[in-house]
Structure 1
Amino acid sequence: METPSATLDRLRLEKAANPQPPNRTPERLHLREIAIEPAVFQVRADGLDMERVAEIAGNVSAPCLDEPIHLWWSGKRWIVIDGHHRLAAHKLAQERGGESRKVAVKAHPAMSLEEAIGAASLINAREKVAITREERGEAAWRLVCCGTGSIKDQAAWSGTSKSQISIMRGVFERERARRIPQGTLIDRGWDWARRRDRGEDRREFHPDMIETQAREWATKLGRMLGGQRMAKSPEALARALEIISPELPSNLIQTEAFWAALDGAGRALLLEVDSEDAGGLEGDIDVGF
């Protein structure tokens, strides 16, 4: 399963590849034209409540079925930022009735990814269906980690207090200063970050713990793919890592373990590439004055 931080990386690339809004802003769309990315935009920790979905789908006069589903333009897809239960209910009703459906939508084509995350938190915070304190905290923490909005904005969007946002920002800054990756802070969540900031979980990143985890992962990868198979297919392995997270290959190259594992020829090749890149940049840059 893709982590929230990996999903964010993928959506950023998707938006960067085509930052312009579409020519048409829809008011209704076929269900097949609507995508979901729950790892980023589903505020509720438990995901969809299928009993609620079935209840909505079974009541054709349910008022919420007429409410528009809020969508964000990712650069190539319309993605739900609010209305996951309504979308699922429409799909279930479509399956039962056998007819192709169009649904009302509220499109937000010009939003950045960060603005869409804020909008999703704000809309969900105002919904009638209760969101737990923990879920609000996680939504606020994600906004803080992504750097989305001011303290006032983040408090309003998530339904938490400005003082709580300030506390979260302090924790985030301290953990980043301790070299904890942004993606790790997003994926592990607020409770983990808070405990770690108090000193309760810092031992998790002790070198011995990293070595233990590395050996565990090596065993799992070996069982699934086989060491020789991976060694004979480095291109496929590199591409697989890129699919998991576009930043993963470059992050691996920057680790001490990766550098230590390279033989002399491999190190020389990386240094040669760095040298060529530096030379190319010097020749290509046009300062404009």
Structure 2
Amino acid sequence: MNPTDTNSLVRSKVIIEGRIKAGSPPPAIPNSLPLESIEIIPQVFQHREDAQWASDDHVQTLVKVIKNSTKAAKKKPLEPLTVFWIGDGWALIDGHHRYKAYKAIGYADPVPVTVFSGTLDEAIGQALKGNSKDKLAMSKSEKTNAAWRLVISTGLSLNQLVDASTISKPTIIQMRNVMRTLKETDPGLDLDELTWHQALRKYQGKEEEDFEPDFEWRDKRIAKVAQKLSDTFGKEFKRKPELFWEAVRKYDSNLTDHFLKMHNVDPEDFSWSKADPNEF
């Protein structure tokens, strides 16, 4: 059974553990690999909950970087992908957008890789910890949900969990307590199906609809508005960001004034005619 047959991190991890146990050591430690020899297992090694528009846009940015580099006399690929040996092949644990960018242009040469040589649990943690410049920022809810995934699916130590997720130690300790309690009180519960917020509410004996954390509500609203902007305007405002700035100002100047104050700029001192949106 291939891990891609299930969306469950826990069940996918069990399958990979079986492949590692039945497999063999890697034939050699490579510094590059053909794309087709790298297996993608997002259920286990991709912790981000990307909005499709943001993911696609980021990939296209990386595509331009690759194309520009290939025009030079000497090709300069993107930073190495991080791969992990799973008994019978290499799995991608860091660099999913770079991988998609290579695939998008039909990159024929082997791509640079670095090999992660820890345990499977450590590789799952490394997939979250990876924080190269080619990565998209994660929202607060994504980070807490990713930390929850690590808590319920790995045996990483407290310090390792904190290091990989950047979530505070008290929160990780709380997650561990919630996990242990839910396993004891409801053995049939599939923790893999719950977000951290849902698990916490269940632990507290409250219904899901009773409450939604401010940060989760905020993240959802931001993603919804950003998706609407992308659907409506595409890349128009990215090419001419000053149009977006002036359009928002025309819509409601209070919004732009508030935005300036958020960045410690006095609207009275701001020169609209020389506005550089990249400063904000």
TM-score, L = length of structure 2:
0.64
2:160 pairs with 1:165: no
Counterpart of 1:131, as a letter, is M
Counterpart of 2:164, as a letter, is W
2:13 pairs with 1:8: yes
> How far did residue 11 of structure 1 move?
1.2
> How far did residue 56 of structure 1 move?
1.2
2:204 pairs with 1:198: yes
Task: Confirm or deny: 8 A CA contact 1:56 1:89 kept in the other structure.
Answer: yes
Task: Confirm or deny: 8 A CA contact 2:82 2:95 kept in the other structure.
Answer: yes
> How far did residue 201 of structure 1 move?
4.2
> What does 1:124-143 correspond to in 2, within 5 Å?
124=131, 129-143=136-150
Task: Confirm or deny: 8 A CA contact 2:38 2:90 kept in the other structure.
Answer: yes
Return 5+ residue gaps in structure 2 as ranges. Answer: 70-74, 209-280
User: Which residue of 2 is the match for residue 253 of structure 1?
Assistant: none
Q: 1:175 to 1:150 in 2, by over 3 A?
A: same
> How far did residue 12 of structure 1 move?
1.6
> How far did residue 127 of structure 1 move?
6.7
- Aligned counterpart for 2:108 among listed residues 100, 122, 126: 100
**Cα distance in 1 for residues equivalent to 2:156 and 2:76:** 29
Task: Confirm or deny: 8 A CA contact 1:58 1:93 kept in the other structure.
Answer: no
Aligned-residue CA RMSD (Å):
2.4
User: Which residue of 1 is the match for residue 80 of structure 2?
Assistant: 68
Q: 1:31 to 1:17 in 2, by over 3 A?
A: same
Q: Secondary structure at the match of 2:113?
A: strand
Q: Secondary structure at the match of 1:23?
A: coil
**Cα distance in 2 for residues equivalent to 1:64 and 1:128:** 18
**Cα distance in 2 for residues equivalent to 1:146 and 1:53:** 29
Counterpart of 2:195, as a letter, is G
Q: Secondary structure at the match of 2:177?
A: helix
Counterpart of 2:38, as a letter, is I
User: Which residue of 1 is the match for residue 96 of structure 2?
Assistant: 84
**Cα distance in 1 for residues equivalent to 2:45 and 2:130:** 11
Counterpart of 2:11, as a letter, is A
Task: Confirm or deny: 8 A CA contact 1:42 1:81 kept in the other structure.
Answer: yes
Q: 1:132 to 1:23 in 2, by over 3 A?
A: same
> How far did residue 122 of structure 1 move?
1.1
> How far did residue 181 of structure 1 move?
4.5
Counterpart of 2:82, as a letter, is H
**Cα distance in 1 for residues equivalent to 2:165 and 2:188:** 23
Deviations 1:16-67 (A, max 9, x none): 212x421301100111111100111112112761121122112324799420
Q: 1:118 to 1:127 in 2, by over 3 A?
A: farther
2:28 pairs with 1:24: yes
TM-score, L = length of structure 1:
0.62
**Cα distance in 2 for residues equivalent to 1:128 and 1:8:** 24
User: Which residue of 1 is the match for residue 184 of structure 2?
Assistant: 177
Counterpart of 2:49, as a letter, is A
Return 5+ residue gaps in structure 1 as ranges. Answer: 203-289
User: Which residue of 2 is the match for residue 149 of structure 1?
Assistant: 156
Select the structure that is richer in helix: 1
**Cα distance in 1 for residues equivalent to 2:96 and 2:171:** 28
**Cα distance in 1 for residues equivalent to 2:110 and 2:135:** 25
- Aligned counterpart for 1:120 among listed residues 127, 130, 147: 127
Deviations 1:162-219 (A, max 9, x none): 111001011001001113347x1123221211110011249xxxxxxxxxxxxxxxxx
Task: Confirm or deny: 8 A CA contact 1:125 1:158 kept in the other structure.
Answer: no
User: Which residue of 1 is the match for residue 43 of structure 2?
Assistant: 39
